[in-house]
Amino acid sequence: MKTDENYMRQEDTKELFDVIGYFGSWQRRIFFIAFISLMAHCWHVLAMLFLAPNIDHWCQRPTTYSNISTDQWKDLAIPRVQSKNDSGIYSSCLVYKNFTSHMKEENSTTACASWEYDNSFYTSTIIDEWDLVCENDWLPSMSTSLYMGGFMTSVFISGQLSDRYGRRPIILFGGIIFLASGFACAFSTSFLMFNILRFLVAFGASGTVLTIIILLLEVIGPEYRSILGICYQFGWALGYTILPGVAFLVKKWRHFQLIISVPWILLCSIWWFLPESPRWLLSHGKVKLAEKEIRNAARVNGKIVSNWQVIMAQLMTKEKQEEEMKRNRQATFLDLFKTPNMRKKSLNNFLFWFVNAFTYYGLSLHTNDMGGNPLINFFIAGTLEFPANIIGFILIKHVGRRISLMALMVVGGVACLLTVPVSDSKPFFLSLISLLLFRFWTIRCLLHIV
């Protein structure tokens, strides 16, 4: 008699996981690929902070004044404007019309025709590449919105395509689009070209990342899904933490863009080791391919299985029953609003996701506007992702979603309001604690609980 706990008899078969295991080496391979993909995606989502950082700029001097220092030029030709702390600073967008006049208080100003930039830290950025300052300073924000637009567009397309053609082809297709667009973006010759390629980067990333999540959830046992859903987010946290280090070492934006695209070479390479979802294969009647994947998963996970024909027949029957139930339901997006109870839950869920995602990305993409070193600020925000992931999981497991969600919404909202008076105070560390510790931590926890 077989005594090995991994031995599987045909009468023991109930679910796919009874055959391949609930979370073994085979599933860990898929989890690793998902982890790396989210880390690489994080780099591109947040890259605009380093592609278009806040750098000092002022009106460009004529060639006849090229022999004087920057400070001398500013004192001669650049008017002072009022700043937030009531101290006069040199204007970034204006120059005296007649800067040789000694009566500057009576001298009118005019807008800059071209600019000089402070390249003491960042050797080059898209800001000085295409003069995205003054009346054009809104363009970097628009570029970020276009990136998110590419991500959203892909959400509606990649899910349908992966249901029709399989998870594996869409993951590869998205990865190739991402890789090609990411590298091509580094060679952009115009801001328009840069934005088109960034849109495609987001489109490809969304198709890959979201489809890998679907694949991962289809091959792991139900009891592992909550914890792996949290652990998977550590890929984002790791990417968040590493990115300022990359920006510190690579200070030319084109080189920076190339570096953050490199991980997708690895992803496209290890795609060959990525299996197709057995559940998708079974639901589409691809029995031979499904059996091949299931046999391989069982072997890698150390599961001993007998009488494959009977087991595959059982799995096919179960999958057909589930598919038939889905067809009979004919569920659509409109079903979320048909009943009062479901309508209330759906609208609440939409509102929570909108508010928290809007706030989270708004804060993450504006760490440059805080006081102190922007790289350090960004690094601290990234490290806070780790405890937020852990605490979010603990709250879900022991407190539940409803109470945790409402409590953190209140804490996060209060912290955001307190930032206004605290950020104007002299001690910088108070502003840092308020902005990072409370706002990032609570809102990141919320994103896991919603």
| Span 44-61, pLDDT tens digits | 999 998 999 888 999 998
What is the predicted pLDDT for the residue at 191? Answer: 95
Band the pLDDT of 403: cuts 50, 70, 90: confident
Q: Which of 285, 305, 330 is the last residue of a domain?
A: 330
Q: Which of 279, 297, 330 is the last residue of a domain?
A: 330
Pull the structure tokens for residue 13. Answer: 């078969």
Choice between 194 and 317, residue whose per-residue pLDDT is larger: 194
Q: Could you give phi then psi for residue 124, rounded to 5 degrees? A: -155, 145
Residue 284, pLDDT > 50, answer yes
| Span 57-111, pLDDT tens digits | 999 988 888 888 888 888 888 888 776 555 568 888 988 887 666 555 556 888 8
Per cent of the chain over pLDDT 90 is: 19
Band the pLDDT of 272: cuts 50, 70, 90: confident
Same-domain check for residues 197 and 290: yes
> Which region, left, alpha or beta, applies to residue 52 given φ > 0 means left and ψ of -120 to 50 means alpha?
beta
| Span 349-360, pLDDT tens digits | 888 888 877 777
Do the beta carbons of residue 199 and residue 177 sit within 8 Å?
no
Same-domain check for residues 397 and 424: yes
Choice between 396 and 292, residue whose per-residue pLDDT is larger: 292
Band the pLDDT of 7: cuts 50, 70, 90: very low
Same-domain check for residues 178 and 70: no
Whole-number Cα distances in Å, 215 to 198, 233, 373? 26, 16, 40
What is the predicted pLDDT for the residue at 2? Answer: 43
What is the predicted pLDDT for the residue at 376? Answer: 84
Do the beta carbons of residue 297 and residue 222 sit within 8 Å?
no
Domain range holding 388?
A: 335-450
Extended strands (E) in 37-111: 57-59, 80-82, 88-90, 94-96, 109-111
Same-domain check for residues 169 and 288: yes
Residue 182 makes CB contacts below 8 A (sequence gap 6+) with: 44, 197, 201, 257, 260, 261, 264
Q: Which of 330, 356, 382 is the last residue of a domain?
A: 330
* Number of domains forming the structure of the chain: 3
Same-domain check for residues 95 and 146: no
Rounded CA gap, 398 and 391, in Å?
10
CATH at 277: 1.20.1250.20
Q: Is 358 exposed, middle or buried (0-12, 13-18, 19+ CB in 10 A)?
A: exposed
Find the mean pLDDT for residues 390-404: 78
